[in-house]
Amino acid sequence: MDYFADALFIGDSRTDGLRLYSGIKGADFYCYKGLTVFEMDDRAVVELDGGKYTVEQALEKGPQYAKIYISLGINELGYFNDEAFHQTFGDFLKQVKASQPGAVVYLENLVPVNAEKCAANKQPYYVNNDRVAAYNAIFPQLAEEYQVVLLDVADALTDENGILPADATVDGVHFTKAWYQKWLAYLMEHTVDADCYAAGQTAAEGANET
């Protein structure tokens, strides 16, 4: 069985790129272009059993998963309310764990952008690495507060300066096929056993390399 056959990925257009270009097999995706953590309970983007549901509704109505990967935040950079981001993301994590009690929940931090390519492609001014860093300071707090596994995807996909390389991105934000494949490889190499998770092992450094 494919490792991700019992996995669900929740995210925005970056996660949709993972679905399309990484070669991942078997996983389900609740993702949509422009999706934010503020819309988990009121934007119907998930098609399920002939209906359309919000992510939170789909988590309750859909299958139970063994692994859930969450990657959100790039579209929220322009909110400039870090406290609201923290609170809303925490509420969502609480809902995920309540709806999917058997799942190991992985929280992925934000991969920085490439400033030059962002400028060349006229990305919004707030899509910058200072804003990414502000959110990346929040994710470890969320992981500890809600006892989920934090994955440092940012470290895996950036250069020695902590920047997304120019040749790794098409527009400063989204990745090339090779970088989506690199993202997938990182996820496969950083896993936490379900029994260990249930026993409280959630620290990123506790991930098993398989």
Domain chopping of the chain, boundaries:
5-203
5-64 pLDDT, tens digit per residue, is 999 999 999 999 999 999 999 999 999 999 999 999 999 999 999 999 999 999 999 999
Query: Is CATH 3.20.20.70 correct for 5-203?
Result: no
pLDDT mean over 180-193: 96
* DSSP annotation string for 140-194: HHHHHHHT-EEE-HHHHHS-TTS---GGGBSSSSSBPHHHHHHHHHHHHHSB--H
Q: How confident is residue 116, by pLDDT bands cut at 50, 70 and 90?
A: very high
Q: Which residue has the higher pLDDT, 195 or 12?
A: 12
Q: CA nearest 182: which of 22, 29, 74?
A: 22
Q: How confident is residue 203, by pLDDT bands cut at 50, 70 and 90?
A: low
Is the confidence at residue 205, as pLDDT, over 80?
no
pLDDT attached to residue 200: 82
Is the confidence at residue 151, as pLDDT, over 50?
yes
pLDDT attached to residue 201: 72
pLDDT mean over 153-169: 98
pLDDT mean over 192-209: 69
pLDDT mean over 150-168: 98
pLDDT attached to residue 1: 54
pTM of the model: 0.95
Alpha helix (H) residue ranges in the chain: 13-21, 55-61, 82-99, 115-120, 129-146, 153-157, 177-189, 194-198
pLDDT mean over 104-109: 98
pLDDT attached to residue 206: 41
Pairwise CA distance, residues 105 & 202, whole Å: 9
Q: CA nearest 52: which of 63, 43, 64?
A: 43
Q: How many CB atoms neighbour CB 166 within 10 A?
A: 13
Least confident of 78-82, 121-125, 132-136, 194-198: 194-198
Residue 46 φ/ψ, nearest 5 degrees: -105, 120
User: Angle of helix 129-146 relative to helix 82-99, nearest 10 degrees?
Assistant: 40
pLDDT mean over 112-131: 98
